[in-house]
Amino acid sequence: MTTEEKPDALARLADNVAQVPGIGRKTAERIAFHVLQMSDEAAASLCSAIMDVKKTTRCSVCCNVVDADPCPICVDAKRDRSAICVVERPADVRSIERATGFRGLYHVLGGHIAPLEGVHAENLTIGRLVTRVVDGSVKEVIIATNPTVEGDLTATYLAQALSRFALVVSRIAKGVPSGSTLDYATRAVLTDAFSGRKPMRTGSA
């Protein structure tokens, strides 16, 4: 089927899907065609999930994207308040919750430092993280940024920023393939990377 023969709605859906970073034209067309073949119920569920995402908010404590502020993890009295796991994206919180037995708190940076893309430390929630550790109740900050150049750069920056506090800054082990992202790591690999975390040297300590 050529582009000219496509019904308008199908082309319009493909146009919209193609706006998502990393989704090429061919994939967008495949997704649009998949939606066409979905049941009415499945399509309605997809629509409402999209609309619900627009109603989410940011947790004022951990900066995760959630339905309620503060989020269920931050208000859970059973969680270990002496450990904070720092991740780039909300999806990483879900990956770590699924894969590991970590029962501490989280902090979502909202991305990574990438000077070439114009993303600097002040564009992330690093200042908010620092305010969470000043009272001394946090004993370990586990940095679980992605094992990419930007993730490593962000981890080094965080270790420096936290070096004046009496706490351990650790980085998850390299079990997650270098250049990969946490959401693509298998559960076993992520579990090993998490339990094999090592304290970082900041250079100033």
Q: What does the binding site for Zn ion look like in residue numbers (CB under 5 A)?
A: 59, 61-62, 71, 74
Cβ atoms of 3 and 15 closer than 8 Å: no
Of residues 106 and 194, the one with the C-beta less far from Zn ion = 106
Using an 8 Å Cβ cutoff, are 172 and 180 in contact?
A: no
Comparison of 59 and 141: residue with beta carbon closer to Zn ion: 59
Please state the closest distance from residue 72 (CB atom) to Zn ion, in A: 8
Compare residues 44 and 75 and give the one whose CB is closer to Zn ion: 75
CA gap 67, 194 in Å, rounded: 27
Q: Which is nearer to Zn ion, 61 or 159 (CB)?
A: 61
Contacts of 136 (CB under 8 A, 6+ apart): 165, 166
What is the smallest separation between the CB atom of 61 and Zn ion, expressed in angstroms?
Answer: 4
CB of 168 to Zn ion, least distance (A): 22
Tell the smallest beta-carbon distance from residue 151 to Zn ion (Å): 21
Of the candidates 46, 36, 81, the residue with the CA atom closest to the CA atom of residue 62? 81
Q: Is residue 63 helix, strand or coil?
A: coil
